[in-house]
Structure 1
Amino acid sequence: MAALINLPHSLLLFLTLLVITTGPKLSECARIFTIVNYCKETIWPAVTPGDNFNGGGFTLKPGQTIVFSAPVGWSGRIWARTGCNFDRNGNGSCQTGGCGTSYKCSASGKPPASLAEFTLATVDFYDVSLVDGFNVPLAVTPIHGRGNCSVAGCDSDLRPICPTELAVKGNGGRNVACRSACDVFNTDEYCCRGVYGNPVTCQPTFYSKKFKQACPAAYSYAYDDPTSIFTCSGTDYVVSFCSSRKKPVCTYHNKKLMCGGSTGLRAAVGKWGMMVLALIITTALSNVW
């Protein structure tokens, strides 16, 4: 089930900042994915495999949030498509991240695209990968899990600083994405294949180092595992486009608001203020559930 939430900007701001440090134990049987568009433009997120995610494609306007549930055992990727134009039959094209001509993706998107990758099990594995390039900032925040549970992602915008030889130009000549060196040059060294197909011989390059410097919690090349892949158990996830990794986030689980991040708001408004804010937001969410 998906719930698309259109909230007034002020209420969305409360939802983003609100932090509740207690709540029910999260389910070991499913994971709630809250996908949020903080970008200034509409995006068309895609998911493969997408059976639990509206068939693999949907639209998020600026400030919109959508909620899905995925079972343990699901393994897949989530990314944003940008600059899309679809007709009423769901046929069209995208400037970046497109999966052919379909609104709902059944295959991986065309690079370059920032990818959130998940494998859900007793212990989940998740990461944000720039191995296929970059199109929008992306963060993955686990909520109330157990284990490492660090925030993964790339919250820097690589488009303005993308090397000219990797840049994808859009209307007006502005950079709309940044390709990977593998995608551009197609060599064994940049693609970590052939004699470079192992973590000993495949080392960071000039380009992957630039990606890593800007986004230290994301994969910059194929064997960038130690600082890029994270684990967590019994958690829900917030996938945020165009958001800071430090931004407090919330998800909606079992008809209750669950949040993680700074405790500043709790300290500012106190216990009863938090309860009132939680009631306001939970009521608003219930009306669109």
Structure 2
Amino acid sequence: MELNILILQEGIRKGAKLSESKRVFTIINDCKETIWPAIIPGENFSGGGFVLKPSQSIVLTAPINWSGRLWGRTGCNFDSNGNGTCQTGNCGTSLKCVGSGETPASLAEFTFAAFDFYDVSLVDGFNLPLAVTPISGKGNCTIAGCTGDLRTNCPSELAVKARGKVVGCRSACDVFNTDQYCCRGAYGNSAECQPTNYSKKFKEACPNAYSYAYDDRSSIYTCLATDYVITFCSSRKQPVCTYHNKKLVCSGSRGLKSLIEKWGIMIFILSLAINFLMTF
């Protein structure tokens, strides 16, 4: 993420102060399957791993100046002690993550400083649709993510299968391990590392996500004073809500009143409130 580093260095050079406010993460499972979200570093997030059944959500608070990544694990089987493995996204052999996730995995990445950097990356492949929606922030607060399902049209040479079903789509770097696909060696700079036929397929399906290592300008976003809703398997246009300072705040410009006129959103808000209250 060359552009990310350059912007951060420029902010520090001009004397920008690190953010002193916490961020609220609302993580929602809109998939038809159970998923096991993982967060690294995860000391402040239920130990870095937990389960979310379909339509469930959880509200967590990121510490000040946190930097890390979040992804979803699929096809997991954990015993009563939290030991087990997953078909995609493994981060050790426990429910609580002890390391980075195995490829392929759709990643949400965050760096909180004077202003936030965030993106959704498919550089390590794809396993679940994933969207990051900033709430009530200032700046280029675009919804990042990949809401198309690349598992349905993954090139056969990149496909990861379990019981005959495609459960993930690997990156070309992961499969072929060449300097060109991995943006290393002679290709280790933005001038030489260009989109490939494989990364173009990823970009066509997910224009607001990283498709290769130097895909900065159309994939990384900045925002100031915001909270985030991280949604698995949801449309980027679907309104989302979070809690901040004990108040319910929703995305979109029409406000909460117009949103709750739709029964689907009302049901979602009630479900979110119940899940939030159960965390206390």
User: Match of 1:159, SS?
Assistant: helix
Contact 1:80 / 1:136 at 8 angstroms: preserved in 2? Answer: yes
Higher relative contact order (CA 8 A, sep 6+): 1
Instruction: Indicate whether 1:261 and 2:243 are aligned.
Output: no
Give the length in aligned residue pairs: 257
**2:73 alignment counterpart:** 81
Question: Which consecutive residues of structure 2, in runs of 5 or more, have no partner in the other structure?
Answer: 1-18
**1:42 alignment counterpart:** 34
Instruction: Indicate whether 1:117 and 2:109 are aligned.
Output: yes
Q: Deviations over 1:17-65 (max 9, x none)?
A: xxxxxxxxxx951000000000001000000000110110000000000
Question: Which consecutive residues of structure 1, in runs of 5 or more, have no partner in the other structure?
Answer: 1-26, 271-275
**2:153 alignment counterpart:** 161
Question: Which of 180, 185, 200 is the aligned partner of 1:194?
Answer: 185
Question: Structure 1: how far apart are the matches of 2:203 and 2:269?
Answer: 41
Compute the TM-score of the two structures, normalised by the length of structure 2.
0.87
Where does structure 1 differ by over 6 angstroms across 4 or more consecutive aligned residues?
276-283
Contact 1:248 / 1:261 at 8 angstroms: preserved in 2? Answer: yes
The 3 A distance-change label for structure 1 pair 98 and 255 is: same
Question: What percentage of residue pairs aligned between the two structures are identical?
Answer: 68
Question: Structure 1: how far apart are the matches of 2:38 and 2:113?
Answer: 22
Question: Structure 2: how far apart are the matches of 1:146 and 1:184?
Answer: 39
Contact 1:192 / 1:198 at 8 angstroms: preserved in 2? Answer: yes
Instruction: Indicate whether 1:204 and 2:195 are aligned.
Output: yes
The 3 A distance-change label for structure 1 pair 286 and 241 is: closer
Contact 2:56 / 2:271 at 8 angstroms: preserved in 1? Answer: no
The 3 A distance-change label for structure 1 pair 278 and 120 is: same
**1:235 alignment counterpart:** 226
Instruction: Indicate whether 1:63 and 2:48 are aligned.
Output: no
Contact 1:248 / 1:262 at 8 angstroms: preserved in 2? Answer: no
**1:250 alignment counterpart:** 241
Q: Deviations over 1:146-197 (max 9, x none)?
A: 10000000000000100000001111x1211000000000000000000000
Taking the TM superposition and a 5 Å limit, the aligned residue runs for 1:6-45 are 29-45=21-37
Compute the TM-score of the two structures, normalised by the length of structure 1.
0.84
User: Match of 1:208, SS?
Assistant: helix
Contact 1:247 / 1:261 at 8 angstroms: preserved in 2? Answer: no
Question: Structure 2: how far apart are the matches of 1:202 and 1:81?
Answer: 30
